[in-house]
Amino acid sequence: MRNKAVLLNILLAAIIVVLVYQLSTNTAENKIPAIVKSNAAVKNDSPGGEKKSVGAKGHIHPKPAVVIGSYGTDGKPNIMTAAWAGVVNSVPMSIGVSIRPSRKTYENVMATKAFTINVPSAQFVAHMDYAGNISGYDEDKFEKLGLTAVKGDFTNAPYIKEFPIVIECEVSETIDLGSHVQFIGKVIDTKIDLAYLDEEDHVDMSLINPVIYGGEYYYGYGQRLGKPWDIGKRFKDDENPTFQPKLYNNPTLATIHMRKSVRHFTNQAVSKEQLTELVKAGMAAPTAVNKQPWAFIAINDRTVLDKLSEVLPYAKMLKQATGAIVVCGDMTRTLEGQAQEYWIQDCSAATQNILLAAESMGLGAVWTGVYPKKERIEDVIQTIKLPEQLIPLNVIPIGYPTGEDQPKNKWDKNKLHWNGFSKSEQE
């Protein structure tokens, strides 16, 4: 009898514990996935908050992502990406790089006792990623990536001509650490593109915009560039058969060819100053008879962005975007008669300027069409309360790109005709 009562008590206690636990975990806050909750907590905490042990990890940030150049015994130049690299001594200036014995680079450096460190700028992030995905045992990476190997002036190692900083090293020591062998390289010479040096040979790192290896993503200065082991796939023939971005020294051409429709954004906010700069670029576009028949509505209010994303079926990315610009035609400023419709071309030119300016500023943007779809026009007018003289041509969601969206190769020689349309020219 007594035993029965004890059992009953234990059962009752267990039921109460389960009920209390369920009640405490059923609030809306607790339904948020763990990662979001912990991020939110970090944001609210002051510095020095609670820390969590994650085991023996190499979380030193920022980490470099550099490319090691070396020659094989056959004289063939090779490159490989390394994040386990850094300055380790001042006199003599020395750099340590840790390389697994399975790499072609390991074999090369063991044989030649020399290597170069090549520091990529953000425009070479995909090249660098590719060099870290494919082995020199399988492919000539210089040839594949269209990069130029130059024999070092002082060492038996090649450097990458196109990269802004190159450092020639002679191996002074090798240390077997376990998975990797660390090569200590005595720096013999460092070369920097004149474009990045001031009169006193100081480097402007913001101009070089070096790549930072962040584990999940590569970063430039304040922007995500793309995913490691992924962004370099653009050079793989089976993944993306056509796109091999040509390297342009001309920054305008580089921006034009690197522009892409960005539909995935991080939660980093676009500033009012950045949106203003973009609108300035829009207003620099040419217009028929210089009418400038436009008005730009810049949006940085979360509620308005969300409302627009709800009414516009093709602009759902506004939910992620932290800013937007609505490019509108102002019917009180257009030309008369047939020429009235020039407003569409004028506002389109402004839109393209905004998209290119965003690309050049490390931001991402995408043109989502509104005009001439009546329903969409009405929805935008209602949502952002436009006066009747304004017709929205498009909505441009803007934000910091996650790196998922990449440019496409649209060059098609068959669509180019010389001196009039000619069929024979196409063949």
Ligand X SMILES: Cc1cc2nc3c(=O)[nH]c(=O)nc-3n(C[C@H](O)[C@H](O)[C@H](O)COP(=O)(O)O)c2cc1C
* Nearer of residues 129 and 379 to ligand X, judged by Cβ: 129
298 forms beta bridges with: 325
Which one, 84 or 294, has the nearer CB to ligand X? 84
Considering the complex, state which of residue 68 and residue 285 has its C-beta at the smaller distance from ligand X. Answer: 68
Residues ≥6 apart with Cβ < 8 Å to 67: 79, 80, 81, 82, 117, 118, 120, 128, 131, 160, 163
Rounded CA separation 408/256 (Å):
11
Nearest approach, Cβ of residue 331 and ligand X (Å): 53
CB of 392 to ligand X, least distance (A): 43
* Number of neighbouring beta carbons within 10 Å of residue 372: 10
- The least distance separating ligand X from the CB of residue 142, rounded to whole angstroms, comes to 11
List Cα–Cα distances, 6 to 10, 18, 380, in angstroms: 6, 19, 68
- Give me the least distance between CB of 222 and ligand X, in Å please: 19
CA angle 84, 89, 90 (to 5 degrees): 135
CA distance 251 to 237: 27
Residue 34 or 60: which CB sits closer to ligand X? Answer: 60
Nearer to ligand X among residue 130 and residue 265 (C-beta): 130
Calpha distance 222→272 (Å, rounded):
16
Least Å distance, CB 131 to ligand X, is 6
Question: Residue 332 in 3-state DSSP?
Answer: coil
Closer Cβ to ligand X, 82 or 166, answer by number: 82
Which spans of this chain sit near ligand X (rule: CB under 6 A)?
65, 78, 80-84, 98-100, 103-105, 129, 132-137, 180, 213, 228-229
For residue 67, the minimal CB distance to ligand X (Å) is 8
- How far apart, in Å, are the Cα atoms of 312 and each of 126, 245, 315, 325? 33, 33, 5, 14
